[in-house]
Amino acid sequence: MGRWMKPEVYPLMAAMTFVTSMCIFQLTRNILLNPDVRINKDHRRMAVLENEEEGEKYVEHGLRKFLRTRRPEIMPAINHFFSDNDK
């Protein structure tokens, strides 16, 4: 294992681990919490699910509620530095 694990590989391994974990998280979240995924046999029998509250709860998760209160900026410190008119 020491033959291919060179220090140059560590950033690539970190990025790939992060991306893989994000994919696994999203797939698990969709399988377990998505109201459109029908694992239960009773839900699969129904043509149309009557689950508006469950769908609303799935869409309005905590991260979305938190980001709604924030300004849509990627780098606020840099934006404020270059956009200040204090001359």
Tokens of residue 58, six digits: 């799935």
Is pTM, for the whole model, over 0.75?
Answer: no
Over residues 35-52, the pLDDT tens digits come to 777 777 776 677 666 777
Confidence of residue 34 (pLDDT cuts 50, 70, 90): confident
Residues 71, 65 contacting (CB under 8 angstroms): no
CB atoms within 10 A of CB 43: 13
Contact 67, 83 (CB under 8 A): no
